[in-house]
Amino acid sequence: MSVFAPVPLVSGIAAPLLRANVDTDAIIPSREIKGVGKTGLADGLFAGWRYLEPGSRVPDPDFILNDAAFARAPILLAGENFGCGSSREHAVWALHEYGFRAVIAPSFAPIFRGNCVTNGIIPVILDAAAILAITAAGGPVTIDLLAQTVTSGDVAAPFAIDTEAKAMLAQGLDAIDLTARHAAAIAAFHIADRIARPWIYLEATS
């Protein structure tokens, strides 16, 4: 069963937010978190930069996501160490609810990158020069997860992603679902292992 919509391919406009060290509190300030669920967070995404006053909903015209050309872009171009700070998963939930399905950055905070994988956002690592070239191209960007490529205009860049993360994102699976696909092999192992090492299994006694 998919836990989020699979993202084997993401294509669309990419919003450039090329700031380094954007932390999870900048992505979703704590005052914007009203509950423990994954929804109701999109309006608070980047609230400290997106609105003129804390707690208000008056758009700051200078913030990139308030530019009509980048409204609801599915791809975010970011600076190095994106998602640093706390392990707040709400940051990824807010990005996902807003509509982002991929973030391209030179580097990510490890926990944030893992949260992306388990919530249906492709974390793509490209060097800063490639990200600047994509920004300069200004056109639609296509991220082909299966081919592990990013293309935009004349820019074509391969990216690396580990096999498990790739499978989870491409199929909309969490770690439990991914393991459950091997249920038959796991059961066969248990049967064989119980015969080979019966002393390690606790048997019910009457």
- Beta-bridge partner residues of 192: none
Q: What is the DSSP letter of 43?
A: G
pTM (two decimals):
0.89
Residues 6+ apart with CB under 8 A from 204: none
Give the contacts of 161 (CB within 8 A, at least 6 positions apart). 122, 123, 124, 145, 148, 169
CATH, domain 9-173, list 3.40.190.290, 3.40.50.300, 3.30.70.330, 3.20.19.10: 3.20.19.10
Q: What is the pLDDT of residues 60-96, one digit of tens each?
A: 999 999 999 998 899 999 999 999 999 899 999 999 9
Angle at CA of residue 87, ends 83 and 92, nearest 5°:
55
pLDDT in tens, 14-39: 999 999 999 999 999 999 998 888 99
